[in-house]
Amino acid sequence: MAGSLSSGLALLLAGFPALACAGHTVENPTSFEIYLAEAPLEAPRYELQAGDELEVRFLHAPEQNVLLVVRPDGFVSVPLANELRAAGRTPEELRLDITAAWARQYREPEVAVVLKKANAYKIHVGGAVASPGIFELGGERNVLDALFEAGGFLPTADLEQVLVIRPAGPGRFAVIPLDLTAVLDASDPRQNLALRPRDAVYVPISAIAEVNRWVDQYIRQNIPISFGWSLEVGGQ
């Protein structure tokens, strides 16, 4: 089972751009209880991304107010500030950049950056699900929401060892194992973890399914015998 889990996880990492960092391997998964104890009480501040719609307001120059969409290259064009990177930054960080640019021509400018519409964020779902892939989810979503979005889990899924792979800084990822059977039987609904942008969810196959696949691949398909035969000892 460990071999199938590690090989499946490697394929997931290879297929998910946000996790496909050369030279990085996932080791020492963080237990769910330790993750809860160490996780910050508040989720990280929202980072802007391509397609987000913004309104930039200038208190002392309302005629300069402008509606912007973050371009595919991650930049926006702001009056008197030219090109500024927005993607990967919070609205507050962008506000400070615009304020600094305006301070070169205006004394103590007051600027507001309002997020009018957030683009759907992307997550990856792989493993024993009906339709693995990258999905755009808007609003709050949890692990079960993501699995249902991917067509639901297969009968071969091992729901006691579902993994959430979460970016945890440059080149680093937290790997959080979850027991979704405890969610489905309502004994521990906390394990239906709320997802964040760029999370990946991996559902391994069960040990029984792995054995059945091995039998089919290495015995039924390679030994030319029928499993419906019977051996009779003795006789005429």
CB count within 10 Å of CB 22 equals: 5
First to last CA, the chain: 47
Q: Please tell me whether residue 55 adopts helix, strand or coil conformation.
A: strand
Inter-CA distances, 60 with 23, 52, 102, 154, Å: 50, 25, 11, 59
CATH 3.30.1950.10 for the 53-117 domain, yes or no? yes
Mean of the per-residue pLDDT values of the chain: 76
pLDDT at position 81 is 83
The pLDDT-based confidence of 41 (bands split at 50, 70, 90) is very low
pLDDT band at 125 (very low <50, low <70, confident <90, very high): very high
* Residue closest to 115 by CA, chosen among 65, 46, 59: 46
pTM score > 0.85 for this model? Answer: no
Per the model's pLDDT, the better-predicted residue between 113 and 168 turns out to be 113
SS3 content of the chain, % helix, strand, coil (to 5): 30, 25, 45
pLDDT band at 34; cut points 50, 70, 90: low
Please tell me the distance from the alpha carbon of residue 132 to that of residue 137, in angstroms, as a whole number: 14
Mean pLDDT of 121-141: 85
- Give the residue, 127 or 2, on which the prediction is more confident: 127
Read off φ and ψ for residue 210, nearest 5 degrees: -65, -45
Residue 113, pLDDT > 60, answer: yes
Is the model's pLDDT at 29 over the cut of 70? no
Helices (H), the chain: 2-15, 32-38, 91-102, 143-149, 181-184, 207-215
Under a CB-based contact definition with an 8 Å cutoff, are residues 55 and 116 in contact?
A: yes
Q: Name the band, by pLDDT with cuts 50, 70 and 90, for residue 80.
A: confident
pLDDT for 231 equals 37
CATH top class, domain 2-43+120-220 = alpha beta
Spans of all domains in the chain? 2-43+120-220, 53-117
Give me the sign of the Cα torsion angle 33, 38, 43, 47.
negative
**Of 41-45, 168-172, 207-211, which gets the smallest average pLDDT?**
41-45
Question: How far apart are the C-alpha atoms of 210 and 142, rounded to whole Å?
Answer: 27
